[in-house]
Amino acid sequence: MIEIEDLHNKQTFTKEYIAEMLSLSGEKRKMMLKEAGEFHVKQLGKKVFFRGLIEFSNYCTKDCYYCGIRKDNRDINRYDIDDEAILNAARFAHENRYGSLVLQSGERNDSMFTERIAKLLRGIKKITNGELGITISLGEQTREIYKEWFEAGAHRYLLRIESSDEELYYKIHPRDEKHNFQTRLNCLHTLKELGYQTGTGVMIGLPFQTYEHLANDLLFMKELDIDMVGMGPFIEHHDTPLYKFKEQLWPLQRRFEVSLNMIAALRFVMPDINIAAATALQAIDPMGREKALQVGANIIMPNITPTVNRKNYLLYENKPCTDEGADDCTNCLKIRIEMSGREIGFSEWGDSKHYKKPLSIPPKVGRK
Ligand code: SAH
């Protein structure tokens, strides 16, 4: 039985207890969410940090069963934004006092790609005087590549485990060398060892997924001692293999509610990590991300991808903000965040308070 008043001081969370938190609905759920918001402010204050998101390419070598930009989807326009446009987006983020940006794309491992990224990272550092924090989310790579990118200036890495349950993982990915659960897990360990602030996450409301799976996902994050989390609702895409399970999914509204429950529960389980208000929340509820900020999330990722390309990075359907420019996003978000009783940490990196640097890593320049 969950006693809402006990949540603030609770030290250990069992799988059963978390599963119960996740399955709450009605009045009790509302009480838990409110409590999570208060706990969050007590732990981390009211500041929310921006990560300008640049989805610079949708070319992908993987075939994940849920994802709209999977290799086998022939029904999309593939794009790759040129370096100059990426640097311009970084300039925009810097000038508009976003503390950081996120570079994300489909997954590629060829040297043309990996070398280009290293060059871009150095370029972004240079044009922003090392003042812009950089998160990258570029999938599974070798230790050498991760190291090269770290040395080039990236200091946070987001690699969602997608599901920490190996059996479920293979229901949503092909079972082959390119989609190996253990490899993904090893990558997370490598990123941590190299000194990245390391983030992971899962999709919520996948076919075959239960509250127990999701509770275990949160315990997985705790055990891995992760610094940041981005997780959001699964939204089916008609050109993907998982679409055939559409009828078996939780209704969208329930997926949304459980996503907020996940954020609130994780805030209690890991009080000092960074939690992102995932964009997918907004695909279900226009105020989805702001609602997440009120129950434990403290990071928001305004899309600063040049508008012409946005329509083609369709990981899922009804993806928001695909037709407005970056300027519109900033203004609209500022108002929305202030309405949610939060404030924006302009020009601050907003690093995860949970992060502890491995002893061998020298400090980065420009840290704020
Ligand atoms: N190539 C990078 C980034 C992938 S896209 C990588 O491999 O990590 C970023 C995230 O979008 C994925 O990690 C996945 O969790 C999410 N995503 C993909 N398809 C989705 C869908 N149909 N619904 C919700 N989220 C989805």
Task: Indicate if ligand 1 lies below 6 Å from the C-beta of 132.
Answer: no
Q: Note whether residue 347 is domain-resident.
A: no
In tens, the pLDDT along 26-77 reads 999 999 999 999 999 999 999 999 999 999 999 999 999 999 999 999 999 9
Q: Is the pLDDT of residue 368 over 60?
A: no
Q: How far apart are CA 50 and CA 98, in angstroms?
A: 5
Task: Indicate if ligand 1 lies below 6 Å from the C-beta of 104.
Answer: yes
Taking alpha carbons only, the member of 54, 366, 354, 359 closest to residue 197 is 354
Task: Indicate if ligand 1 lies below 6 Å from the C-beta of 234.
Answer: yes
Q: Look up residue 100 and give its two tokens.
A: 């950081």
Q: How far apart are CA 356 and CA 72, in angstroms?
A: 40
Q: Note whether residue 366 is domain-resident.
A: no
Q: Note whether residue 45 is domain-resident.
A: yes
Q: Looking at residue 320, what is its pLDDT?
A: 78
Pocket test for ligand 1, best of 160, 284, 317, 319 (most atoms within 8 A of CB): 160
Q: Look up residue 301 and give its two tokens.
A: 């990722």
In tens, the pLDDT along 299-309 reads 999 988 887 77
Q: Note whether residue 9 is domain-resident.
A: no
- List CB contacts of 331: < 8 A, sequence separation 6 or more: none
In tens, the pLDDT along 258-302 reads 999 999 999 999 999 999 999 999 999 999 999 999 999 999 999
Task: Indicate if ligand 1 lies below 6 Å from the C-beta of 55.
Answer: no
CA-231 nearest atom, ligand 1 = 15
Tell me what the mean pLDDT of segment 200-217 comes to.
98
CA-316 nearest atom, ligand 1 = 22
Q: Looking at residue 125, what is its pLDDT?
A: 97
C-alpha distances in Å from residue 141, one per residue of 117, 137, 172, 184, 193:
12, 11, 20, 9, 14
| Cα dihedral sign, 182-183-185-190 | positive
Q: How far apart are CA 330 and CA 350, in angstroms?
A: 17
In tens, the pLDDT along 301-348 reads 998 888 777 777 888 887 877 776 666 667 788 888 988 899 999 999
What is the domain-level CATH number for residue 282? 3.20.20.70
Phi, psi of 41 (to 5 degrees): -65, -40
Q: What is the 3-state secondary structure (H, E, C) of the chain?
A: CCCHHHHHHCCCCCHHHHHHHHHCCHHHHHHHHHHHHHHHHHHHCCEEEEEEEEEEECCCCCCCCCCCCCCCCCCCCCCECCHHHHHHHHHHHHHCCCCEEEEEECCCCCHHHHHHHHHHHHHHHHHCCCCCEEEEECCCCCHHHHHHHHHHCCCEEECCCECCCHHHHHHHCCCCHHHCHHHHHHHHHHHHHHCCEEEECEEECCCCCCHHHHHHHHHHHHHHCCCEEEEEECCCCCCCHHHHHHHHCCCHHHHHHHHHHHHHHHHHHCCCCEEEECHHHHHHCCCHHHHHHCCCCCEECCECCCHHHHCCCCCCCCCCCCCCCHHHHHHHHHHHHHHCCCEECCCCCCCCCCCCCCCCCCCCCCCC
- In the chain, % of residues over pLDDT 90: 83
In tens, the pLDDT along 129-153 reads 999 999 999 999 999 999 999 999 9
Q: Note whether residue 127 is domain-resident.
A: yes
Q: From the centroid of its chain, how far is CA 246? A: 24
Tell me what the mean pLDDT of segment 196-210 comes to.
98
Tell me what the mean pLDDT of segment 211-222 comes to.
98
Q: Note whether residue 12 is domain-resident.
A: no
Task: Indicate if ligand 1 lies below 6 Å from the C-beta of 67.
Answer: yes
- What's the number of domains the chain is made of? 1
Taking alpha carbons only, the member of 236, 288, 286, 238 closest to residue 259 is 288
Q: Note whether residue 132 is domain-resident.
A: yes
98 lies in which domain range? 28-339
Q: Note whether residue 239 is domain-resident.
A: yes
How many other C-beta atoms lie within 10 A of the C-beta of residue 61? Answer: 14
| CA of residue 360 to ligand 1 center, whole Å | 32
